[in-house]
Structure 1
Amino acid sequence: MSASPHPSRRDFARQTLLGAGALLAAPSLLLGCRTAPRAGATASRATGWDLVPEILGRIVPPTFPQRDFDVRTYGAVGDGRTDCTQAFARAIEACRAAGGGRVTVPPGRWLTGPIRLRSRVNLHVMKDATVAFSQDPRAYLPTVLTRWEGMEMMGYSPLIYALDERDVAVTGEGVLDGQADTTHWWPWKGGKEDGWRDGMPTQKPARDRLMAMVEGGTPVAQRVFAEGSYLRPQFIQPYRCTNVLIEGVTIHNSPMWEIHPVLCTNVTVRGVRIETHGPNNDGCDPESCRDVLIEDCYFDTGDDCIAIKSGRNADGRRLAVPTENVVIRNCRMKDGHGGVTIGSEISGGVRNVFTEKCQMDSPNLDRALRFKNNAMRGGVLEHVYMRDVTVGTVADSVLSVDLYYEEGEKGPFRPVVRDVELLRVTSRKSKHGLYMRAYASSEISDVRVIDCRFDGVEKGNVTDGVRGLVLRNVQVNGQAVGA
């Protein structure tokens, strides 16, 4: 197992946690992430938006040898009925063994179980091709190392998965269909709107058991949640990978989160179209990742369009790897809970998030930029910037920083949100322009709102407990407002 390319978790964790020395001193548990300083790394003197050219200079999509491996050559049949799982695996192994290239999926409907990517392999789904994933949960066993709601465990394989690989990609103009619906996967959430009915099993007992294991320090290898656990898999999850590209594909009907890179470095998500409205159907959730570009994507989701994460509670503090250096640009957020969300599984912290030139417009889209944190999570969320974003209708607020999320102040870990800037952000209709609430032992500070216009605001701004709030050339319903 190679060391993670992330910087020392202790350096960052010292800044983010209160009273967690014992946790920080503990070694990573089996199958956890090992970290080391990046070779040759030097501290940049750039700040704010001036950091973006440096970040983009490091984000270079992987390239692949010009060799194609057609899945039909390895026994796949695109009739929508034949199980192509082993044919996909054979094609991927042949591609890897040859030194890399593209595994091509031609037009047709290709039924498969989970796909395991290997280094130097680009899974290329052609136009008019649909990769349809099995609805049988047993197809996603044996268990693999995964992160579920910010907690490491051994669980169902994600539909497309890679572990400790370099140079992996999913590209093309085709469709990835998770085939989740109100009779498969979604009822496990436990909501009647998702197909659950009285007497049916739900994820709650396993989720509660996993949370207890995490808080109790159970080694990851012993956190086994297989058949009968009802913890839904993510769609695409590269885990501890370097040089990742997801480009062009359309994603439908995921069991849970859509694109979920974990502990990865150099990630590009470009031109992806996501249309799925199941429970917890987040669009793109980079978690404990460094150097991430999300651009030219379309999000029509059942949960947050983009949700930036870094681990939940004790597991986030154990690994203590922040998500950092994320650039989001030229995306359209049509529907979802939040356009860009920081949290809620955010105990490892986040820094340097830049969003620009995006469009958000839906009465079902709750918030444009949202921070979700509390005293059970803790962590420092800092250096988050949004500019030149056009918001039509959002149901709640343009900027939301709510440290009372779920458990609120019931916990020993201090949530901090600082250095947040909105520049040239406009909206046409919302309940609030700004909605920010801190409690006495938390921190929301250095929030700047500049050259912004919020129209159709029903209830004005809420800024409880915010320190260092700057409102410069801000209009709400045509009236100038100040701090």
Structure 2
Amino acid sequence: MQPSPPHTRRSFLALAAAGAALASAPAAAHAQATGASAQAAAAWARVPAIRRRIRPPRFPDRTFPITEHGAVGDGAAKCTEAFGRAVAACAAAGGGRVLVPAGTWLTGAIHLADNVELHLEAGATIRFSRDPADYLPVVFTRYEGIELMNYSPFIYAHGRTNVAITGAGVIDGQADAAHWWDWSSDPAPSEGPDKRLLAQQAEAGVPVAERVFGEGHYLRPNLIQLYRCRNVLIEGVTVRDSPMWNIHPVLCTNVTIREVTVDSPRGPNNDGCDPESCVDVLIERCEFNTGDDCVAIKAGKNADGRRVNEPSMNVLVDSCVMRDGNGGVTVGSETTGGVSWVFAWNCTMSSARLERAIRIKTNPERGGYVRDLYFKDITVGQAADSVVEVALNYENKHTGPHFPDVGTIDIQGLRAGKAPRAFYLIGNPGNPIRGVRVRNSVFEEMAEADVVSEVSGFELRNVWVNGRRV
């Protein structure tokens, strides 16, 4: 292992060595380790009760094929109205299944209703139009943690109970460098001016109904967004090539995302699954190959996040596979409403283009809290940056009016193969990260020294780096 520069964990190790000379140190260290283990055990004991509360919705045994409402599966005829009629008929009957049979179904926005399951048979592809006009009129939505009126997400529900997207088919956003993704950066037209305008409106307290974007603007919609919904299920489908984030539950309760494949590695900001200000979320047995974070847990941003002030909590990530992406399991950067009680276990992460495995990112403009995050039995084949990153200076912002409160991050049983470094932990001056515990973990081939600055309570117990116990 290479020598650590002064701003890394060298000071921590030196203090530990000095303290070991004291006769009381072994007993104190043992008590501290026992206390940390007991705290983690008590936290993990919460998981069964959370999981029991998360129950997928059930639907009446009624089927409404979109073909009976005028849909043609040739990939050329636009089926927007047929989808709308099928959903309306299903809802009017008291709920059931809107069936998408094998074929390619071109459409604009699909809006779900109470007690409606959108089900894609094997061989079915819902292919979304590349014409922005097909996502008007504008709807109440959220863009990077700020509420506004904007283009409709491609599959959307607002204020609904018992909604599902299931099956073995494909949901294809059809975004590429010439459609939607080209809005992400200069040259104009691009989203930059609209992002700044939206942020200014939120800071000024402009009512959401007056933050109207859509036509003539360039804020990209999400592929799937379920807003203020209760009892949500997304299961089995493959989603790909979203304009922006792929799956985005917002202010939802009781969410199950199971055995979903997100195959969207090329697009900018193509996050896999971003539960935002949600409570009781299960993400299990999913596979992510993304152009940004694989799973990113969020809670609103800056002034608008403080106005809404709703946390994400009780999020379970179980037995998922993460390939390409900026982070495997991520919290942030939108943390303003607070994030707590996140548990991730039995996940496998590896790619030359997976930058980090565990990632927490925020800054002194976001504020909020991030605490009680628990990870165990994570396997990382390789990562392109740090295996574990906790950065309170996201976007290179070190100071500001709303320092985040970040701490109680517990990692056990992590095994990493190859990466530039094990840890990148950066707090703010005067606002340290408070408590990162790593136990019973191995980092096999780390090329560089760790970076640890402004951290209070960085504990390593039975941790091996490059064959040496640290």
Paired with 2:428 and 2:365, the residues of 1 have a C-alpha distance of 14
Query: Do the aligned partners of 1:283 and 1:305 also contact (CA within 8 Å) in 2?
Result: yes
Q: Which of residues 83, 86, 90 in structure 1 aligns to 2:85?
A: 90
Q: What one-letter code is carried by the residue in structure 2 that aligns with 1:190?
A: S
Deviation sequence 1:195-230 (CA, Å, 0-9, x none): xxx4x4101111110010011110000000011111
Task: Give the distance between the partners of 1:377 and 1:47, measured in 2 at CA.
Answer: 29
SS, match of residue 46 in structure 2: helix
1:215 aligns with 2:203: yes
2:399–2:428 CA contact under 8 A, matched in 1: no
User: CA offset at residue 385 of structure 1?
Assistant: 0.7
Q: Is the 8 A contact 1:415 1:443 kept in 2?
A: no
Corresponding residue number in structure 2 for 1:64? 59
Tell me which of 104, 116, 119 is aligned to 2:114: 119
Query: Unaligned regions of 5+ residues in structure 1, if any?
Result: 1-45, 192-197
In structure 1, what is the Cα distance between the partners aligned to 2:367 and 2:42? 24
Provide the C-alpha distance between the structure 2 equivalents of 1:226 and 1:307, rounded to a whole number of angstroms: 25
Which residue in 1 is equivalent to 2:274? Answer: 285
Given the alignment, which residue of 321, 333, 337 partners 1:348? 337
> CA contact under 8 A between 1:375 and 1:407: conserved in structure 2?
no
Which deviates more from structure 2 when the two are superposed, residues 359-368 or residues 403-412?
A: 403-412
Structure-2 residue corresponding to 1:19: none
> Could you tell me whether the CA contact under 8 Å between 2:290 and 2:324 is conserved in 1?
yes
Given that residues 399 and 429 in structure 2 are in contact (C-alpha distance below 8 angstroms), is that contact kept between their aligned partners in structure 1?
Answer: no
Give the residue type in structure 1 aligned to 2:334.
E
TM-score by length of 1: 0.88
Partner of 1:34: none
CA distance in 2, matches of 1:445, 1:190: 36
What secondary structure sits across from 1:243 in the alignment? strand
Whole-Å Cα distance in 2 between the matches of residues 411 and 176 of structure 1?
41
Larger C-alpha radius of gyration, 1 or 2? Answer: 2
CA contact (8 A) 2:381 2:417 kept: yes
In the TM superposition, residue 431 of structure 1 has moved relative to its aligned partner by 1.1
- Cα distance in 2 for partners of 1:83, 1:439 equals 52
Mapped partners of 1:159, 1:407: distance in 2: 33
Question: What's 2:3 paired with?
Answer: none
Output one character per residue of 1:46-71: Cα deviation in whole Å (capped at 9) or x when no partner. 94111101110110000101111000
How many residues align? The count is 430
**1:443, CA displacement in angstroms?**
2.9
Matches within 5 A, 1:433-472: 433-472=422-461
Gaps of 5+ in 2: 1-40
Task: Identify the residue that residue 379 of structure 1 maps to in structure 2.
Answer: 368
Shift of 1:407: 4.7
| Structure 2 partner of 1:305 | 294
- Check if 1:239 corresponds to 2:227: yes
Contact 1:293 1:328 in 2 (8 A): yes
Cα deviation code 1:378-431 (max 9, x no counterpart): 111000011001001101111101111115223111112111011000101111
TM, length-normalised to structure 2: 0.90
Confirm or deny that 1:262 pairs with 2:262. Answer: no
Q: How far 1:460 moved relative to its partner?
A: 2.7
* Match 2:165 to one of 167, 170, 189: 170
**What letter matches 2:197 in structure 1?**
R
How big is each residue's C-alpha offset from its partner over 1:296-331, in whole Å with a ceiling of 9 and x where there is no partner?
101010000011100010011111111000000110
Q: Indicate the residue corresponding to 2:174 in structure 1.
A: 179
Query: Aligned to 2:321, which of 332, 351, 359?
Result: 332
Deviation per residue, 1:120-165 (Å, 9 max, x gap): 0000011000000010001101100000000000000000000000
The 1:325/1:415 distance shift into structure 2, 3 A limit, reads same
The whole-number CA distance in structure 1 between the counterparts of 2:420 and 2:338 is 29
Alpha-carbon separation, structure 1, partners of 2:64 and 2:254: 25
Contact 1:376 1:407 in 2 (8 A): no
Equivalent residue letter for 2:415:
T
2:384 corresponds to 1:395: yes
Counterpart position of 2:413: 424
Offset at 1:190? 1.3
Q: Does 1:227 align with 2:222?
A: no
